[in-house]
Amino acid sequence: MEVVLTKQVLVLNRFWQAVNVVGVKRAFSLLVQGHAEVIHQSEGDFQLYDFDQWLDASEFSEDLEQECLHTVRYVIRLPKVIILKFFDRLPIKEVKFHRKNIFDRDDHRCQYCGKHFKESELNLDHVIPRHHGGRTSWENVVASCISCNSRKADRLPHEAGMHLIRKPVQPKWRPFVAVAENKDRNRSWDYFLKPLQGR
Ligand SMILES: [Zn+2]
């Protein structure tokens, strides 16, 4: 029981965004009070369970691999992910447009030659140069290595015979790193920690 109580549970807000990680006790307290429901994936679908439903489901569970909390009165499976019913903090948040976030979006790869570089070896490149009316925006600024940057100079990519390895877009909000790097991160969290793009 000691070990079980140190397990952590991913918490989502009503928009199904990861907002926190809490201990098992806190998770159960939210469930018992009706502030949260368990999200459980079975056969590819996500199902929601309130506390009583989860208790019933635990009783009939045949999956012996599952970790359970044993109390005097019942055996209950540990939820991996819960969703808050009322708490709307951290709604969709825009990723700030600045140098570091552009490098993160581009995975520290030069968007012309595709090679990885350290942050200090990357420049920001206006795909459509400013004097051609190119804007300083997510859609027009990419990471570029110094050599590609100087080769392209003030030209449009096609004028320099260069191509972007992918189309630059504004990244969607992503759960904060603290959640992504949590020690109890497990496979059932993965879906909720992926960037929202493509979901
Ligand atoms: Zn390059």
134 CA → ligand 1 middle, Å: 20
117 CA → ligand 1 middle, Å: 9
Q: What is the mean pLDDT of residues 100-117?
A: 92
- Give the chain's domain count: 2
**Is the CB of residue 68 less than 8 Å from the CB of residue 77?**
yes
**Number of CB atoms found within 10 A of residue 36's CB:** 28
Q: Ion ligand 1 — residues with CB under 5 Å? A: 110, 112-113, 145, 148
The residue segments making up the domain with residue 120 are 99-160
144 CA → ligand 1 middle, Å: 5
Q: Is the dihedral of CA 175, 176, 177, 181 positive or negative?
A: negative
Residue positions counted in the chain: 199
Q: What percent of the chain has pLDDT over 90?
A: 46
- Within this chain, do residues 57 and 104 fall inside the same structural domain, yes or no? no
In-domain check, residue 7:
yes
Q: What is this structure's pTM?
A: 0.52
Q: What is the mean pLDDT of the chain?
A: 83
- Within this chain, do residues 6 and 23 fall inside the same structural domain, yes or no? yes
138 CA → ligand 1 middle, Å: 19
- Within this chain, do residues 88 and 105 fall inside the same structural domain, yes or no? no
In-domain check, residue 55:
yes
**Is the CB of residue 28 less than 8 Å from the CB of residue 73?**
no
pLDDT of 183 > 90? The answer is: no
Q: Residue 144 belongs to a domain with what CATH number?
A: 1.10.30.50
How confident is residue 105, by pLDDT bands cut at 50, 70 and 90?
Answer: confident
**Number of CB atoms found within 10 A of residue 87's CB:** 16
What does the pLDDT look like over 135-163, one tens digit per residue? 999 999 999 999 999 999 999 999 999 99
- Within this chain, do residues 13 and 75 fall inside the same structural domain, yes or no? yes
164 CA → ligand 1 middle, Å: 10
In-domain check, residue 167:
no
96 vs 144: CA distance, rounded Å: 19
Cα 101 vs. chain centroid, distance in angstroms? 15
What is the CB-side half-sphere exposure of residue 45 using CA atoms within 13 A? 4
